[in-house]
Amino acid sequence: MTSPAAVIVLAAGAGTRMRSTTPKVLHRIGGRTLVGHVLATARGLAPDHLVTVVRHERDAVVAHIAEVDPGVVIADQDDVPGTGRAVQCALDALDAATDRPVEGAVVVLAGDVPLLDTGTLVALLEAHEADGNAVTALSTEVDEPSGYGRIVRDADGGVAAIVEEKDATAEQRAIREINASIYVFDAAALREGLGSVGRDNAQGEVYLTDVLALARESGKRVAAIIAEDSILVEGVNDRSQLALLGAELNRRTVHQWMLDGVTVIDPATTWVDVDVELAPDVTLLPGTQLHGATVVAGGAVIGPDTTLTDVEVGEGATVTRTHGTLAVIGPNATVGPFSFLRPGTVLGERGKIGAYVETKNAEIGAGSKVPHLSYIGDATIGEHTNIGAATVTLNYDGSQKHRTTIGSHVKIGGDTMLVAPVQVGDGAYTGAGAVLRRDVPPGALAVTSGTQRNIDGWVTSRFPDSPAAQAAAAAEPPTEQHGVDE
Ligand code: UD1
Ligand code: CA
């Protein structure tokens, strides 16, 4: 197959049935916008030019396209409505952007058909080329054809015309073969046809579909190829279809990962965006959602009930009941259950972030552990350091954020408050309940809590007959005292 001269993506429509302030083509499934899926598919054909026609919410759509594919030529559709006008505007924009008029195959795609794959288009282009067609449309057969344009074939099976639902006779409405709004045109035939398409139809629009009948009437070859897998060519019109196609895309993505060696215990509750990368022998437990550019190395076990967005998970790591974004989890590290990893968290090899721990902008070195009930934010922790339960880095002084730096082989006692900016040197220990406002030198023990006082008999005299007093009276007197005075 030779690459097409141009691919034109139609994305100017309003998408009113979405009932949304977000333009239809910017709604997402599988971690990409609808138009993002279509542009990626179009790029797969390596066209000389890729054009997108915009109008409704054009600034938002243009800004998004510039992000996902800066090479796309933007064509603004004018006041004249209809898919034919949209394509005309695309050709005009191309003429303005290039030295000579486009010649050869021009592919037209709708911006709201997210499951279309490059392979289907390659087959369409090959048939177009092999048969020397002026137009090759992609069609499919559905049980519920209402709302679509119908493919009207004549006695010899050739395509006579495409008739829109609103313009169709009762007989034509019974046709189950529908137009998918995906075509290959010969550029010259397309220009010629668009030159004579009018607006004399039920919607007063310039129909791209009229080009087929016109080409046919002028003796050119026009064909429609039936896509067996209807869902690949299905468009999104409302949020119910968005969910349906989103689920189908996910089903296909997860299925492919299973064939590639990933264990998925419950495909129905496992959601994997299209840009996620998984190694063989990754295990995904039920309720796992992997989003964005998440990458998981071999042997890692994710889930149950874990949501990771743009997270890198190292070989053999386990991530249990965790919510993480823009974080790196090292090889053989363990995270969770109930951990919250915010952006900038980097956990080293064999490190641990345990239950009810929140981290942000935190580098936690190899073998270091934050096992229980802690907040570690704007902090650097060296290697093989242990952070006692309920430790908090107090990074915010009310106006600015400050950093906490803790060395290697440090033991931070339970319930420690680190008032940043503060540093704890290598090999230092800190006592339980410390409030550290000053740096701790390497190897030192820092203690800040006051001396403990025991007032003998206090409970018994204050609450004489209480259960506590009775329990105290029944208790053995202490034989030895534990602990150190500070
Ligand atoms: C069109 C086809 C119909 C086909 C259906 C498949 C025509 C006349 N009809 O229907 O045969 O079955 O798609 O979904 O082509 N768009 C523009 N500018 C416009 C109008 C539409 O760019 O002025 C874009 C939309 O953003 C969308 C695509 O074209 O991406 C299809 O538009 P839509 O209104 O959904 O389809 P219909 O015109 O109803
Ligand atoms: Ca329409």
Is the Cβ–Cβ distance between 62 and 18 less than 8 Å?
Answer: no
Is the Cβ–Cβ distance between 423 and 405 less than 8 Å?
Answer: yes
Rounded (10°) CA dihedral 229, 235, 239, 245: 30
Which residue type does 183 have?
Answer: Y
Residue nearest atom 22 in ligand 1 by C-alpha distance: 12
Q: Parallel, antiparallel, or unpaired: how do β-strands 369-372 and 339-341 relate?
A: unpaired
Pairwise CA distance, residues 124 & 241, whole Å: 25
Pairwise CA distance, residues 225 & 264, whole Å: 36
Q: From residue 337, how far is each of 12, 305, 340, 357, 428 by CA, in Å?
A: 46, 10, 9, 9, 29
Instruction: Write the DSSP symbol of residue 55.
Output: B
What's the rounded mean pLDDT across residues 403-431?
98
What is the distance in A from the centroid of ligand 2 to the CA of 70? 28
Pairwise CA distance, residues 403 & 396, whole Å: 9
pLDDT at 50: 98
pLDDT at 157: 86
Beta bridge partners of 294: none
pLDDT greater than 90 at residue 485: no
> Can you give the pTM of this predicted structure?
0.93
The DSSP-derived string for 379-446 is EEE-SS-EEPTT-EEE-B-SS-B--EEE-SS-EEPTT-EEESSEEE-TT-EE-TT-EE-S-B-TT-EE
Catalytic residue from among 56, 323, 372, 384? 372
Reported as a pLDDT band with limits 50, 70 and 90, residue 202 is very high
pLDDT at 322: 98
pLDDT at 263: 98
Closest alpha carbon to 391 in 428, 349, 354: 354
What whole-number percentage of the chain has pLDDT above 90? Answer: 94
Beta bridge partners of 140: 178
Q: Is there a catalytic annotation at residue 372?
A: yes
What's the rounded mean pLDDT across residues 256-272?
98
Residue 181, ligand 1, Cβ within 6 A: yes
User: Which phi and psi (to 5°) does residue 323 adopt?
Assistant: -120, 115
Average pLDDT value for the chain: 96
Residue 11, ligand 1, Cβ within 6 A: yes
What is the distance in A from the centroid of ligand 2 to the CA of 117? 23
Q: Parallel, antiparallel, or unpaired: how do β-strands 263-264 and 222-226 relate?
A: unpaired
Lookup: tokens for 196: 């004579």
Which long-range contacts (C-beta less than 8 Å, at least 24 apart) are formed by 307-315? Answer: 311/341, 314/349, 315/279
Closest alpha carbon to 13 in 161, 149, 163, 113: 113
What's the rounded mean pLDDT across residues 195-199?
95
Pairwise CA distance, residues 406 & 180, whole Å: 61
Residue nearest atom 33 in ligand 1 by C-alpha distance: 13
The continuous run of DSSP H or E covering 186 comes out as strand 177-186
Residue 273, ligand 1, Cβ within 6 A: no
Buried b / exposed e along 41-66 (16+ C-beta atoms within 10 A): bbbebebebbbbbbbbbbeebbebbe
* Length reported for the chain: 486
pLDDT, tens digit (0-9, with 9 covering 90-100), for 349-382: 999 999 999 999 999 999 999 999 999 999 999 9
Pairwise CA distance, residues 112 & 108, whole Å: 12
What is the distance in A from the centroid of ligand 2 to the CA of 113? 14
Closest alpha carbon to 110 in 235, 210, 264, 217: 235
Pairwise CA distance, residues 377 & 358, whole Å: 8
Tell me the Cα Rg of the chain: 33
Residue 88, ligand 1, Cβ within 6 A: no
pLDDT at 377: 98
pLDDT at 352: 98
Pairwise CA distance, residues 173 & 146, whole Å: 8
Residue 164, ligand 1, Cβ within 6 A: yes
Reported as a pLDDT band with limits 50, 70 and 90, residue 199 is very high
pLDDT at 486: 47
Ligand with minimal distance to 12 CA: 1
pLDDT greater than 60 at residue 78: yes
Q: Parallel, antiparallel, or unpaired: how do β-strands 73-76 and 49-54 relate?
A: parallel
pLDDT at 101: 92
Instruction: Write the DSSP symbol of residue 26.
Output: G
User: Which phi and psi (to 5°) does residue 247 adopt?
Assistant: -65, -40
Least reliable range by pLDDT among 63-72, 122-131, 152-161, 222-231:
152-161
